[in-house]
Structures are given as structure tokens and as C-alpha cells.
Amino acid sequence: MKLFGRSKHSPGSRKAKREMPAGLWTKCEGCGQLLYNKALEESLRICPKCEFHFPLTGNERLHLLIDPGTFEERDADLLPADPLEFKGPKTYREKLQEDQRICQTSDACITGTGQLDGRRVSIGVTDARFIMGSMGSVVGERLTRAIERAIELRHPVIIVSGSGGGARMYEGMLSLMQMAKTSSALMRLDEAGLPFISVLTHPTMAGVFASFASLGDVIVAEPRALIGFTGPRVIEQTIRQKLPDGFQRSEFLLAHGLIDLIVHRRELKATLGKLLGHLN
């Protein structure tokens, strides 16, 4: 028995645990490294260890690509409804209100006009935080109007896609209709002789990829982005076979001819500017 020492029950024997404040660190999906959030923001949300490209918000995308002071948002007054009165652990209305508060936007897509390296464009960007960037009626309508506006103004179209949710199940068939509607608008854009550049980011999946995201005259992707209709795990369970390494990542899709370019985020604006010059 110890003669000296402090009893584990004596006052002051328990040192207060130093708790690390939440929200300071992010674990990299690519390499598992813990990254300081402030440093991550300063690096355009690119992992300094493995160059993994984290998703950006819609406004961050616009800041990255559009010349300062030139963006004019359109159709922001279009607001999502709840046609099915969807109920679950959270109702659709509750989910919408929560994501609108967190993302400070009314839905998963921002559209408008602006200049990219001095060239006028009609642009749409998605926000993967808002119900996984899924496409509901508002997203489909905003993108369709952006394409129709481009035809009227004779602008090229750029859509930056990032959706882990595809068509938004909360709206049922009304969401699935947006796949056909956006694709039809892009057909009219093509008939008008105007270019469409599709930019795929991590992740771009399901109904979004199966519609407008895969219809670009040029399809550009960020490095190591997950792109496809159904996730690799679902495919493996369905076909009962092991998939190749890197399946559905940008590099795999480029090697198999599904996309045209892989562009690092720091070079994306300059690359899109050159493409617009060639396509015009």
C-alpha cells in the first residue's frame, strides 16, 4: 500500500480533460490524414498530402470560376414544394428547412450569367451539401431555364455537377421528369449551335449523371472524383464480382473514354476559358 500519493477519490485528483473544439479538423477521404480546416480552406479544399479534391459549395464554385463582380443570379425565387407530403424520420419540409439554414440557399443549385475570363456564359452549379446535391423540381427547372436563357442570349453553358443523390426521391416522379427536361433543353442548345461544357466533381452519381451531366460537348472532371450511376459496392453485390481498382474514379473513366479531360481545381478556370475559346 502506498504511504504517499493522492487518493483517486480525493478532490482535485481528476484533471479536467482538455476537449478539442469541434469543427477544427477534417479527415481526408483520400489518404486518411487529419487536416486543419483553416489550412484546407486556404488550399481551395485540396488535401496537401494526396491532392484529393473535397466538394465545394455552390458559392465557392462561382467564386472560383466567374470573374469578380460579373455574376447575376437568376431564378432564385423558385422554391421547392412538397408534392407528396413525404414523411419519414424527418419530413421533406423539415429536411428542406434544415438544409436551407445550413447551406444558406433555397435549393441544391444556383444558376445565372457571368463572365469567365471575359467571356459571357450561362452557368449552373450544384451544392452537394443540400440533400446530397440531388435534383428536385427546382434544380431541374433552374438548369432548364439557364439553358433556354443561353439559347436566347447566344451564350455557352457550363454546369458544374456534384450529386451523391441523383434524382430526389422526396419528389418521386416529378424529380425523375427533370432528367428528360434538362436533356431536352440541352438538345435544343445543340441545335442552336451553342456549346455545353459539363464539369463533374466528387461525387456525381445516379440521375444527375444519367442526364445532363453526361451530355457535355466536352466533359471535364476533377481528379479522383467518384462518377457513375450506381455506387461500386452496389455493383459488386449485384454482379458478385470484384471491381477493378479505381473503378468509377475520374482516371478510370478517362482511360475508358467516358470523359475528355481531368483538370486540377487550380487550373480549372483557365482550362475552361481555353475550351470556350476553341468551341466558340
- Chain centre distance of CA 184: 22
Please tell me what DSSP assigns to residue 15: P
pLDDT confidence band for 5 (50 / 70 / 90): low
Beta bridge partner(s), residue 113: 72, 122
**In the chain, how long is the greatest CA-to-CA distance?**
92
d(CA 160, CA 240): 33
pLDDT in tens, 38-89: 878 777 787 877 878 888 888 889 989 999 999 999 999 999 988 888 888 8
Regarding beta strands 196-205 and 261-262, do their DSSP bridges make them parallel or antiparallel, or are they unpaired? Answer: unpaired
Tens digits of residue pLDDT in 151-209: 999 999 999 998 877 888 888 899 899 999 999 999 999 999 999 999 999 888 888 88
Cell of 48: 496537401
Give 154's DSSP letter. Answer: T
Domains and CATH numbers, the chain: 23-52 (no CATH), 55-279 (3.90.226.10)
Contacts of 255 (CB under 8 A, 6+ apart): none
The Cα 127–Cα 134 span in angstroms is 9
Grid cell, residue 171, equals 419528389
Note the pTM of the prediction, 2 decimals. Answer: 0.83
Provide the percentage of residues in the chain whose pLDDT is more than 90: 42
C-alpha cell of residue 14: 481528476
Identify the sign of the CA torsion 41, 45, 49, 51: negative
Residue 233 pLDDT level (bands cut at 50, 70, 90): confident
Cell numbers given for 210: 444519367
Q: What is the pLDDT of residue 17?
A: 47
